[in-house]
């Protein structure tokens, strides 16, 4: 990750702010506020604003349930209870805003989460930076044989070199041609004073999907956790997972109690179907259960065994 001098100055200016407020603050999050956390080769995640903390969740739950919540002795107990029982609205009372730099093909996956507010850098208005994502060699995987949306073994040797060369050459060439059509370099230099450049809204179509874009992305804590549940998961594409992991660290600083409850009741949890429940009931009673007698499909059986790490029984 390389910041422009302008960006570095911006961050310094923001970090030098020292305001007084009567609002709730999260001191651990304040420490990394505005800091660009590097992700991938040119990307980053920065928390640039937030509202509320763990106590805001507790406070709003107490408004809802009135005196009813006094029995739960601690904030931690209450947050865990809310998470366990799928109470959603108290977690919506916290809000966070990120500045994120990411490859376009990842941005396209990300934007499908529709509940956030977004301001993206517009290539209709301005010229995109000359930066593309090139995977590192340890991420250059072949298509999975078993999972149509997954990765298999690493690609190595000459084939790996060839892939990397293609990605670099094509991104560079299409970007150079983007500048040529615009008749303008990324830094604003006009190439040929006697020519008009193609409209930016057209020229951008020549860029490859690994070009970097950036946006402000603002969401409440509930929807952030839903996003992280799906995107910090091992089934998520590596290139979005690393963003989710960086953000999960910011959540830990911001709302540590909620973060712990999220790991216990969501990330590390297992969801068992009605049929799967019968299998577990039998096993817990010491009875022999087999795939054949389970009523599950092979795929369901294997998923159930895997989720409890009963690896020996997978067929």
Give, as ranges, the residues between 284 and 313 that touch a second copy (CB under 8 A): 284, 286, 297, 299-300, 303, 308-310
DSSP 8-state secondary structure symbol assigned to residue 118? E
Among 22, 73, 136, 138, interactor with a second copy by CB under 8 A: 22
> Interface with a second copy by CB under 8 A: which range of 21-29, 36-44, 245-253?
21-29
Which of these is catalytic: 62, 231, 241, 299?
231
Comparing CB distances to a second copy, the nearer of 245 and 278 is: 278
Window 256-275: residues binding a second copy (CB under 8 A) = 263-265, 267-275
- 164 membership: H or E segment, kind and range: helix 157-182
The CB-of-38 to a second copy minimum distance in angstroms stands at 19
Residues of this chain, 141-180, that bind a second copy according to CB under 8 A: 141-144, 148-153, 155, 159, 163, 166-167, 170-171, 173-174, 177, 180
Instruction: State whether the Cα torsion 102-105-109-112 is positive or negative.
Output: positive
Nearer to a second copy, 30 or 245 (CB): 30
Both tokens of 249, joined, read 């660290």
By CB under 8 A, residue 19 contacts a second copy: yes
Catalytic residue status for 231: yes
As a whole number of angstroms, the distance between CA 14 and CA 11 comes to 5
Whole-number minimum distance, CB 17 to a second copy, in Å? 5
Phi/psi of residue 305, nearest 5 degrees? -60, -45
Give, rounded to a whole angstrom, the gap between the first and last alpha carbons of the chain: 45
Stretch that binds a second copy, among 36-44, 48-56, 241-249, 251-259 (CB under 8 A): 48-56
Q: Give the CA count within 13 Å in the CB-facing half-sphere of 131.
A: 18
Is residue 17 a contact point for a second copy (CB under 8 A)? Answer: yes
- Rank residues 184 and 247 by Cβ distance to a second copy and give the closer one: 184
Q: Which of 258, 125, 135 is nearest to 200 (CA)?
A: 125
User: What is the C-alpha to C-alpha distance for residues 141 and 25, in angstroms, rounded to an integer?
Assistant: 43
- Supply the minimum distance, in Å, between the C-beta of residue 186 and a second copy: 11
Task: Give the strands of the sheet with 117-120, arranged side by side.
Answer: 37-39, 43-51, 95-103, 212-220, 117-120
Work out whether 28 is an interface residue with a second copy (CB under 8 A): no
Q: Return the number of the residue (11 or 247) whose C-beta is nearest a second copy.
A: 11
Q: Which two tokens stand for residue 79?
A: 């947050």
Near a second copy by CB under 8 A: residue from 36, 39, 40, 61: 61
**Closest distance between a second copy and the C-beta of residue 310, in Å?**
7
218 forms bridges with which residues in the sheet? 97, 117
- Closest approach of Cβ 313 to a second copy, in Å? 10
For 81, residues 6+ apart whose C-beta sits below 8 A from its C-beta are: 72, 87
Binding mask 187-226 for a second copy (x = CB under 8 A): -x------xxxxxxxx-xxxxxxx---xxx-x-x------
CA-wise closest residue to 83 among 306, 242, 268? 268
Q: Which sequence positions are flagged as catalytic?
A: 231
């Amino acid at each position: 990750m390389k910041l422009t001098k302008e960006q570095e100055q911006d961050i310094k200016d923001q970090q030098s702010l020292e305001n007084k407020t009567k609002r709730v603050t999260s001191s651990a999050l304040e420490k990394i506020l505005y800091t660009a956390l590097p992700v991938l080769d040119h990307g980053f995640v920065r928390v640039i604003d937030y509202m509320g903390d763990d106590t805001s969740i507790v406070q709003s739950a107490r408004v809802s349930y009135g005196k009813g919540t006094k029995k739960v002795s601690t904030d931690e107990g209450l947050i865990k209870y809310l998470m366990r029982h799928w109470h959603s609205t108290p977690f919506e009372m916290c809000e966070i805003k990120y500045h994120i730099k990411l490859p376009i093909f990842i941005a396209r996956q990300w934007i499908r989460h529709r509940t956030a507010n977004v301001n993206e850098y517009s290539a209709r208005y301005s010229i995109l930076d000359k930066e593309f994502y090139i995977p590192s060699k340890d991420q250059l995987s072949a298509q999975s044989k078993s999972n149509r949306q997954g990765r298999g073994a690493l690609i190595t040797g000459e084939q790996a070199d060839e892939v990397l060369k293609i990605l670099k050459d094509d991104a560079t060439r299409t970007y150079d041609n983007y500048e040529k059509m615009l008749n303008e370099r990324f830094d604003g230099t006009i190439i040929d004073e006697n020519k008009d450049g193609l409209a930016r809204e057209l020229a951008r179509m020549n860029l490859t999907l690994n070009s970097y874009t950036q946006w402000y992305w603002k969401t409440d804590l509930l929807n952030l956790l839903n996003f992280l549940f799906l995107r910090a998961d091992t089934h998520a594409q590596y290139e979005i997972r690393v963003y989710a992991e960086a953000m999960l660290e910011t959540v830990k600083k911001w709302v540590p109690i909620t973060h712990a409850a999220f790991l216990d009741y969501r990330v590390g949890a297992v969801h068992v179907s009605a049929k799967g429940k019968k299998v577990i009931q039998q096993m817990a009673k010491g009875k022999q259960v087999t795939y054949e007698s389970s009523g599950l499909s092979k795929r369901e059986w294997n998923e159930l065994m895997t989720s409890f790490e009963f690896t020996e029984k997978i067929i």
